[in-house]
Amino acid sequence: MSFSQATTASSYSPYADVHASGPHPVLPEGMQRSQVRDLLLELRRALKLSQAALLTLLQIVERTRPSDWTSPDVEPVCYARQVRLASELGKSERAVRYDEARLERMGLIERRTLANGARTSHGGCGLVLSPLIERIPALLALRDRQRAEWDARAALLARRSALYRAVRDALMEVQTTQPGDPAAREATETFLSWPVPAELRAMSLDALSDHVEKAGDLADRLDELLESCRDSSGQTATSFRSYIQTTINTSFEFCNAPANAAADIEENSAKNQAAHKHEPQVQPGLDRLTPQALRAIASDELRLYLDYDTRNRDPRMRDFTLAAIRRLPELGVSPSAWEEAVGTMGDEAATLAVLVIDANRDHPAAPVRRPGGLLRAMARRHKAGELNLLGSLIGLLERKRE
């Protein structure tokens, strides 16, 4: 016989202590009622809970004793009547009744009432949260999967942003050196057809990953096109060392969306042509920062990503950027910290900052404990003109040699 049927039986006493009949389900060790609230807020969309139903559920949770969620001897029960909940939530009793029915169908609460529908603490009659407690382990697993997907999506979006800027800049240079080239025209058309940020956010993870892979292929083809243009024109290719030199001394504008991509390419091609007329002046020690040297001072984990992307060819600066982006979740660096660094320092300088931070996690005297906080601090110092990235890189080289 169900509990609701028992409440209508003649032998039922409304003052029976059904609370003490245990043992009852409890929260996982170390978890408290307040964390249940946070969990529900994070999983609302995954659970397909409407905003109205969620607010009602949270109010029901708040009307239970925190200790009842961790003791096997009692159950968390909300005894508030519908009229009281409606008043507290600012909605009608009918709306609250609908929400309660919806939550019960979802298996998140159980309604136990007297035969007349009354709720009372004497008989443990009310809205019981034990079904929700029983689902907590599954909800925690769902949260972990959702967070992992968010991290993967954030990493893919960051890589796509870096590739967008790399392709845009390469197209600027191609249009300057080889205007009207059919391959460049085809690459430009492909670039302009890329999805805008709103479309990217709506993509499935697999579709987004496929797009990022194709964006990388386009960037590689443009690199090859630029090399062939330089070979045919007799122009000296821009050295990796000069790339770093420019990176260290220049802040690059952060751009994430291709809304004005065509205008960007056309407007900046003249500036790009002027910028490539002169090689940057080399700072002392900069000649030691070859691709092989940067790879040598990188962490083992970053080198793993770098080697996978380059596949036995010399790495480009973009390869270091994409490898650094892959390392961000593992370092505990949030997407917002990376975006702040890129917006302040540019892709390449932000990449070198991550390389320095990652490599210094095992520093013998001052190991990095909070990579995300340090990246934000480096961005602030860069903005103030106080960051010495070159010195940090040379210091890593010295330590590696020792």
pLDDT tens profile 325-356: 999 989 999 999 999 999 999 998 999 999 99
With 0-12 / 13-18 / 19 or more C-beta atoms within 10 angstroms meaning exposed / middle / buried, residue 37 is: middle
Helix (H) or strand (E) holding 110: strand 110-112
Give the sheet arrangement for strand 126-128, strand by strand: 77-78, 126-128, 110-112
Q: Return the pLDDT at 378.
A: 94
pLDDT on residue 275: 41
| Global pTM value | 0.68
Whether the Cβ atoms of residue 173 and residue 265 lie closer than 8 Å to each other: no
- What CA–CA distance (Å, rounded) separates 248 from 245? 5
Closest by CA to 174, choosing from 223, 247, 214, is 223
Cβ neighbour number for residue 374 with a 10 Å cutoff: 19
CA distance 329 to 244: 25
What's the token pair of residue 121?
């603490």
Burial (CB count within 10 angstroms: exposed 0-12, middle 13-18, buried 19+), residue 238: middle
Helix-, strand-, coil-residue percentages of the chain, each rounded to 5: 65, 0, 30
- Helical packing angle, 130-177 and 317-331, nearest 10°: 170
Radius of gyration (Cα) for the chain, nearest Å? 30
DSSP letter string over 82-97?
HHHHHHHHTS-HHHHH
Integer Cα distance of 372 and 24 in angstroms = 42
Residue 275's contacts (CB-CB under 8 Å, 6 or more residues apart) are none
Give the three-class secondary structure for 127. Answer: strand
AA identity, residue 213:
E
* Predicted local distance difference test score (pLDDT) of residue 225: 85
Count of other CB atoms within 10 angstroms of residue 141: 10
Environment class of 358 (CB within 10 Å of its CB; exposed 0-12, middle 13-18, buried 19+) = buried
Closest C-alpha among 288, 340, 296 to residue 320: 296
User: Does an H or E element contain 159, and which?
Assistant: helix 130-177
- Tokens 């309604």 sit at which residue? 111
Pairwise CA distance, residues 127 & 82, whole Å: 10
User: For residues 337 and 343, what is the distance between their CA atoms, to the nearest angstrom?
Assistant: 10
For the chain, list residues with pLDDT below 50.
Answer: 1-20, 234, 236-239, 241-243, 249-259, 261, 263-284
3-state secondary structure 314-357: CCCHHHHHHHHHHHHHHHCCCHHHHHHHHHHHCHHHHHHHHHHH
